[in-house]
Amino acid sequence: QMTLSPRWLLLLGVGVLVGCTTAMTNTAAQSTTVMTVVSEDRSTVATVEAVDGKYVLLLDDEAVLSFDALPSQVEFSPTGDALLLIVNGDLYRYDTAARQATRLYEGVITAEFSPSGQEINYTTDADF
């Protein structure tokens, strides 16, 4: 007859627990941070993560938008109340307070806010 000491039972239990935790972690969606942008006043962080072949925009760790393609540009306005995003040539303005994106133009290569944040200057593929 073989009995296990309390120490062996504890080690066995820890081994089973670690195995279960590892299995649960491996089945969850894996995300990779591919881009991070911080507002000028450093109060807001925007992160783009790759998750299961899609891209998710997070504001302060809260998922707010999802895209099929990696944004080529993400930029805060000087006032921090909006983001510019270019995804597959489409220019979006994302209002951080309203949590709403508006598609503005297509065929956009680059874009930037004016110093006041009230205007957006952009270049399209038609400009070349």
| Helix ranges (DSSP H) in the chain | 6-27
Q: What are the structure tokens assigned to 6, written together?
A: 């309390």
Work out the widest C-alpha separation in the chain, in whole angstroms: 85
Per-residue pLDDT, averaged over 74-100, amounts to 95
Q: Quick one: pLDDT at residue 20?
A: 41
In this structure, what DSSP letter does residue 20 have?
H
* pLDDT score at 59: 95
Q: Please give the single-letter amino acid code of residue 66.
A: S
d(CA 78, CA 115): 6
Q: pTM higher than 0.85, yes or no?
A: no
pLDDT of residue 127: 66
The residues near 97 (Cβ < 8 Å, ≥ 6 apart) are 81
Given a cut of 60, is residue 109 above it in pLDDT? Answer: yes
Confidence at 105, pLDDT banded by 50, 70, 90:
very high
Express as a percent the part of the chain with pLDDT over 90: 69
62: three-class secondary structure by DSSP: strand
Greater pLDDT, 9 or 85: 85
- Mean of pLDDT values over 27-32: 72
